[in-house]
Structure 1
Amino acid sequence: MQSGDNESSYWGLKGAEDLGGGMKAIFTLESSFDVTSGQLSDSSRLFAHNAFVGLSSNAFGTLTAGRQYDPTVDLVQQITGDAMAGALFTTPGDVDNNDNSFWVNNSIKYTSPVYGGFQYELMYGFGGIAGNTTGGQMYGAAASYNNGGLTVAAGYLFARNDVDGRGAADLNRSNSVVPLYGDISMYGSRQIIQAAVQYAVGDLTANLRYGNAQYKPYANYGAFNRTETYNIGGAALQYQITPALSGAISYVYTHSSGASSATYNNAGVNFTYSLSKRTNLYAEAGYSHASGTTFSDDGSAIVAAGGTIGSLGPSASTRSQVATIVGITHKF
């Protein structure tokens, strides 16, 4: 058994105080946990999912501060296959943060109002490393446009590690994330660009996405001695078969280049049945086939790439992997 796939298990508190003139003070505290054991998903944080406060205005937008998602998650991820079926429909190892496994600590984020279908977000993360103004630093931006059934979005994320190799990705991420290769402390910085387009007509929704992720080594880790670049292309299709039953399929192509070179072909299928507005049953399957080479866990050697299904991570060292999941989601 495992906790959550389509959606993570978490509980939270949200609040708002009307300050008058269309202005509100807001806060969100969310704690993720493993429903199979009751343990926190991140033992080092009580509110690992989100923890922020801010001001919201109908006319001027929203300004928040704390631990929160980066702009690409808010505006781009929502129109990709990951929003349809979670981990099985996302990028192997979640190297481009399409499955929102990355949070930003000590951050300030501005979300604009919607202007004729257009919206944008800006974010800066201070890092919080004493004596190091750039350690753990992060900045990002994203924008989206919606017109009828058409939505397009694009975003940028840059995260820097600190001088000890304990990077922003380690400081800010969820402990459940399994990197596609190596230990997270090997990364000196990562840069991610994402773009997506989605069109919905009647009961049918289709989307396409592109991602580019670049990982630079913190230091010379043997084989991992220069920038590793991932190019990702994905497509997903969802159809509302009946008012209660929906089906979705996805395909994700990922190619890495640099000191190593690997190609991942991933496919997934999902069926979701709504028992009520708050409770869903789902069944899904994912397949991954890898070719080429990648890094060993410590970055010291080049090894054969193994199949990796979305953000679930590799379960064996074989070229191909298959995963089947049945589950229930209840919202309260």
Structure 2
Amino acid sequence: MSIVALTFSVPAAVHAQSSVTLYGSIDESVAYYNNTGGHSLVAMQNGDNAATNWGLKGKEELGGGLNAIFTLESSFDITRGSLSGNRIFAHQATVGLADDSYGTLTMGRQFDPTVDLVQPITGDSFAGPAFTTPGDADNNDNSVWINSSIKYASPTYAGFQYELMYGFGGIAGNTTGGHSYGAAASYNNGGLTLATGYLFSKNDVNGNGAADLTQTNSVVPLFGATPLFGSRQIFQVAAQYVVGSLTANIRYSNAQYKPYMNYGAFNRTQKFNVGGAALQYQFNPALTGSLSYVYTRSSGASSATYNNFGVNGAYSLSKRTSLYASVAYSHASGTTFSEDGSAIVAAGGTVGDLAASSSTRSQVVAILGITHKF
């Protein structure tokens, strides 16, 4: 996300300065689905090509290359003018210290390390949720935030960087109850970038924990409002190569959902193996085009296969405003779970994590939208 600043500086000492930056993006579109939950749908929707949010970032120079920093970022739905998840700062809320030589330490509600280092070199970064895993089963589209967390990001050493995170469950008498932890690393050399990461999240008390785990479609176990008493672990690896105007990437992930109680059909670990590839080409300074393919295979109490294809084009009217169009197709075979995990049902086509799964094997979505960044 580019940040166009509304910035002011306040002298705090002879050697120190403070600054606060206002930034954000607004994304709105009109989408057509041939089938979502059993019906065709034409609707306006929010945040397809970029997240819709606004935020404040602040920095105070403490001397010797050390800075105090904070980020407050609020997600909202421009279609309804409503907050996301009924939280004022649902996207990020952190405070910490950053040092030129030793790295950055932040605390609060934030993305896990795989979102920071792995996701940016996958197809999701080209065109958002239409290019990601059905149901976002592996968090490739940033659908998980880690609450009550502490994260360390290293400086970049000759192209190499790593991050470590721990999320506190906050449960009295149970130091590991509801906790999360993760790590990721990336390496860049010229046009080549490699990245890998791991995330573990446990919701074992009242269906709650450091990570938010609910979903909205039938790809993952226990979607909708049903809480997961269990854990999720995700491993990801990705590679990207940029040569001239062409950017190409590939990725693989393995996600595992483990129930800590018997939900009926969802009575043992459900695994998702995901492979994806994407291409983006910069035709001229204003026009880009992207293609993607994602293959998803689930196994465990149910077994399903999803083949997803996406095409996207974006045209920049200025450095801050762009128009975009996306068409995506998903075809599913096999079985998945009912909403509460009590029964096995036929798997429906699911384009990314945009909407409810189709009641048939296939789903098609076409999107026209506009993004403005400030």
> Quick check: 1:157 aligned with 2:170?
no
Structure 1 runs, 4 residues or longer, greater than 6 Å off = none
Q: Indicate which of 59, 66, 75 corresponds to 1:16.
A: 59
1:312 aligns with one of 325, 346, 354 = 354
2:285 aligned residue: 243
Find the partner of 1:34 among 69, 77, 88.
Answer: 77
- TM-score by length of structure 2 reads 0.85
CA distance in 2 between counterparts of 1:128 and 1:99 reads 26
Larger of the two Rg values belongs to structure: 2
Whose relative contact order is higher, 1 or 2, with alpha carbons under 8 Å and at least 6 apart? 2
Q: Name the counterpart of 1:180.
A: 219
TM-score by length of 1: 0.96
Q: CA deviation at 1:177?
A: 5.2
Aligned length: 328
Looking at structure 2, the residues matched to 307 and 187 of structure 1 have their Cα atoms a distance apart, in angstroms, of 26
Please say if 1:117 is aligned against 2:156: no
Question: What residue in structure 2 maps to residue 141 of structure 1?
Answer: 183
SS of structure 1 residue aligned to 2:262: coil
Match of 1:6 in 2: 49
Task: Tell me, yes or no, if structure 1 residue 25 matches structure 2 residue 77.
Answer: no
Q: How does 1:209-220 map to 2 (within 5 A)?
A: 209-220=251-262
Per-residue CA deviations over 1:13-33 (Å, capped at 9, x if unaligned) read 110000010010000000000
Q: Which amino acid aligns with 2:219?
A: L
CA distance in 1, matches of 2:295, 2:75: 30
Tell me the CA shift for residue 178 of structure 1.
4.3
Q: For the Cα contact (< 8 Å) 2:316–2:323, is it kept in 1?
A: yes
Counterpart of 2:50, as a letter, is: E
What's the secondary structure of 1:55's corresponding residue?
A: strand
SS at match of 1:298: coil
Shift of 1:296: 0.6
Cα drift, residue 186 of structure 1:
3.0
Q: What SS is found at the alignment partner of 1:85?
A: helix
Q: Which residue of 1 aligns with 2:4?
A: none
* Alpha-carbon shift at residue 218 of structure 1 (Å): 2.7
Q: Indicate which of 206, 211, 234 corresponds to 1:192.
A: 234
Q: CA deviation at 1:163?
A: 2.1
Taking only the aligned residue pairs, the percentage that are identical comes to 72
1:105 aligned to 2:144?
Answer: no
Q: For structure 2, which runs of at least 5 residues remain unmatched after alignment?
A: 1-43
Distance 1:51 1:177 in 2: 24
Equivalent position of 1:253 in the other structure: 295
Please tell me whether the aligned partners of residues 200 and 231 of structure 2 are also in contact (alpha carbons under 8 angstroms).
yes
Q: Helix, strand or coil: the match of 2:84?
A: coil
Partner SS for 1:86: helix
One-letter amino acid of the counterpart of residue 182, structure 2: G
Q: How far off is 1:268 after superposition?
A: 0.3
5+ residue gaps, structure 1: none
Question: Residue type of the partner of 1:148?
Answer: G
